[in-house]
Amino acid sequence: MDDLLRRALAVNQTWMALGNERFVAAGGAFVRNRDVPSIRDANHVAHVTAATATEVDALLARADEEFAGLPHRAFHIDPATPLALEARLVLEGYEHTSALYLLLEGDLRGRPRECDIRLVDDEAAWQSHLSLHRANWAEWQQALEKDDMVSAGEAMFRSRRAKSPAVRYWLAYEDGEAKSYLASWEGTDGVGQVEYLYTSPEARHRGLATALIHHCVEDCRANGAGPVVIVADPDDTPKAMYAALGFRPLALKRNYWRTVA
């Protein structure tokens, strides 16, 4: 595998593991957080090396053991994952979503607008961030036509906040009110990541998201990163904005899960 691709995949998976329990067993890297059992990003297996039928059997059995009592089993599949695992998950009826990795190696294109961007570093700022997160989650529920996931949204926020202070969260303000957020981390092995972009509907198309991306990329690089990763939903529009700013498509990751009794 290309070295840069390997490092880009690794930084995202390490980001996902921040704030959670992490250990390697049975040919997989386990991420677990019993405080937020419904959040698949905080409870899954990644970096799988199990390749034979026997090894995959052992990995699935170990996942049942380690995630006993949790409402799901989840596995992250990337280009380095042996094909046998993904085939087995499909056979067993696992659902999946995809994530598009994009990578910025040079400078961002364009010049951002002047913007009031502040670090989330006190409880008042965290509450402003939470308000925006709730709005984001409500939009997501509406798009999926689901209205029973409020508690999952609150758990998701807790799991993200647990990544601080390693991950730095930023708010963009207009007229003294937080309207947009993004997070940055200098990452591992020279590759950083920016993630979790959201802007209130009434503040979109005014340059806040672009300003945050410029700010967070600069923050990653000021703390030691060179290339910077961002992950997009393949079915959503932000991927086009990222590409227009200079991020190039790099790889596709699939997240498999199934609900258990």
Q: What is the spatial distance between Cα 164 and Cα 28, in angstroms, rounded to a whole number? A: 25
Residue-by-residue DSSP string for 146-198: --S-HHHHHHHHHHHHTTTTTSEEEEEEETTEEEEEEEEEEEETTEEEEEEEE
Reported as a single tens digit per residue, the pLDDT across 103-126 is: 999 999 999 999 999 999 999 999
| Predicted model pTM | 0.93
Nearest to 195 by CA among 11, 4, 3, 5: 11
Give the architecture-level CATH label for domain 116-252: 3-Layer(aba) Sandwich (3.40)
pLDDT digits (tens, 9 = 90+) for 156-212: 999 999 999 999 999 999 999 999 999 999 999 999 999 999 999 999 999 999 999
Give start-end residues of each CATH 3.40.630.30 domain in the chain. Answer: 116-252
